[in-house]
Structure 1
Amino acid sequence: MKNSSRGSWLIQHFKREWQIYLLLAPLIIWFLLFLYKPMYGLQIAFKDFSLFKGVDASPWVGLEHFRSLFDSDMFIRAIKNTFIISFLNLLIGFPMPIILALMFNEIAQGKFRKTVQTIVYLPHFISLVIIAGIVINIFSPSTGVVNLLLQKLGFDPIYFLTQPEWFRPIFIGSGIWQEAGFQSIVYLAAIAGVSPSLYESAVVDGASRWQMMWKITLPCILPTIIIMLIIRIGNLLEVGFELIILLYQPATFQTADVINTFIYRQGLVGNQYDVAAAAGLFNAVVAFILVMTANTISRRFTRTSLW
Structure 2
Amino acid sequence: MFLLMLPGVAYFLLFHYGALVGNVIAFKEYVPFDGLWGSPWVGLGNFQRMFEDAAFWDSVLNTLWIAVLQLVFYFPVPLGLALLLHTLTWSSVRRFVQSVAYLPHFISWVIVVALFQQVLGDTGLLNSGLSGAGLHTVDIIGNPDAFQPLVVAQVIWKDAGWGTIIFLAALAQVDEQQYEAAAIDGAGPWRRFWHVTLPAIRPVVVLLLIMRLGDILSVGFEQMLLQRDAVGPETAEVIDTFVYYQGIVGGDYGFAAAAGLFKGVVGALLVYAANKVAHRLGEQGVYK
| Distance in 1 separating the partners of 2:230 and 2:184 | 62
Match status 1:76 vs 2:62? no
Give the letter for the 1:196 counterpart: E
Instruction: Give the alignment partner of residue 98 of structure 1, picking from 54, 75, 79.
Output: 79
Equivalent position to 1:113, from 94, 104, 122: 94
Contact 2:246 2:255 in 1 (8 A): yes
Question: Separation in 1 of the partners of 2:127 and 2:198?
Answer: 40
Distance of 2:233 and 2:271 partners within structure 1: 28
- Kindly indicate whether residue 116 of structure 2 is the aligned counterpart of residue 126 of structure 1: no
**1:59 Cα deviation after fit:** 1.1
Of 219, 226, 251, the residue aligned with 2:199 is 219
- Structure-1 residue corresponding to 2:180: 200
Sequence identity (%): 39
Is residue 138 of structure 2 the alignment partner of residue 158 of structure 1?
yes
CA contact (8 A) 1:163 1:252 kept: no
Q: 1:187 to 1:153 in 2, by over 3 A?
A: farther
Q: 1 CA distance for matches of 2:261 and 2:44?
A: 12
Other structure's SS at 2:259 match: helix
Alignment deviations for residues 254-273 of structure 1 (CA, whole Å, 9 cap, x no partner): 22111001001011111111
Indicate the residue corresponding to 1:298 in structure 2.
Answer: 278
1-structure distance, mates of 2:218, 2:173: 31
Which of residues 39, 42, 49 is equivalent to 1:58? 39
Report 1:248-287 matches (<5 A). 248-249=228-229, 251-287=231-267
Instruction: Supply the AA of the counterpart residue of 1:286.
Output: V
TM-score normalized by structure 1? 0.89
Q: Which has the larger radius of gyration?
A: 1
1:186 match = 166
Aligned partners of 1:221 and 1:151: how far apart in 2?
Answer: 48
TM-score by length of 2: 0.95
8 A contact 1:237–1:283 mirrored in 2: yes
> Residue 209 of structure 1: CA displacement?
2.2
Alpha-carbon distance between aligned partners in 1 of 2:128 and 2:183, rounded to the nearest angstrom: 49
CA-to-partner distance for each residue in 1:146-172, whole Å, 9 max, x for gaps? 323444665322222221111111100
State how far apart, in whole Å, the 2-side matches of 1:149 and 1:227 are.
45
Change in Cα spacing, 1:148 to 1:210, as seen in structure 2 (3 Å) is farther
> Which residue is 1:172 aligned to?
152
State the alpha-carbon separation in 1 of the partners of residues 158 and 10 from structure 2: 32
2:29 to 21, 44, 48: 48
Identify which of 220, 223, 233 aligns with 1:240.
220
Distance 1:115 1:131 in 2: 21
For residues 127-142 of structure 1, what are the structure 2 equivalents within 5 Å?
127-142=108-123
Cα distance between partner residues in 2 of 1:25 and 1:246: 37
Instruction: Report the more deviating stretch, 267-276 or 211-220.
Output: 211-220
Structure 1, unaligned runs of 5 or more:
1-19
SS of the equivalent of 1:62 reads coil
* Alignment-mate amino acid for residue 254 of structure 2: D
Q: How many residues align?
A: 287
Distance (Å, rounded) in 1 between the aligned partners of 2:50 and 2:264? 15
Question: What is aligned with 1:29?
Answer: 10
Secondary structure of 1:237's counterpart equals coil
Partners in 2 of 1:103 and 1:149 — Cα distance? 33
Q: Measure how far apart 1:175 and its partner are.
A: 0.3
Q: Secondary structure at the match of 2:141?
A: helix
TM-aligned CA distance change 1:248 to 1:155, over 3 Å: farther
Q: For each residue in 1:169-195, what CA deviation from the matched residue of structure 2 results, as whole angstroms up to 9, or x when unmatched?
A: 110001011111111111111111111
State the 1:24 CA deviation: 2.1
